[in-house]
Amino acid sequence: MEKKRSSRLLPVAIVVFVIGLIALIALFVMPAVADGETAPTAVYLLALCAPLGFLLAIAAALRTGRRTR
């Protein structure tokens, strides 16, 4: 029997991706709520977490995937 390795990369990727999505939503909602003012720079930087989380999820999938013979 083969023990299955638990990968922490996928849950981390999901959390990073969700943080990025929340920041993206905040970027679009902020001008409507704050009388046309743009979001702070930190929100723009947090929005970069979405593609980073996506790339981490791809890396996790490739790392845990099985090779075909």
The total number of structural domains in the chain stands at 1
Range of the domain at 54: 16-62
In a domain, 6, yes or no: no
In a domain, 5, yes or no: no
3 occurs within a structural domain: no
What pLDDT digit, counting tens, does each position of 13-57 carry? 999 999 999 999 999 999 888 888 888 999 999 999 999 999 999
Packed helices 9-33 and 49-64: angle between N→C axes, nearest 10 degrees: 160
Q: Is 65 helix (H, G, I), strand (E, B) or coil?
A: coil
pTM strictly above 0.85:
no
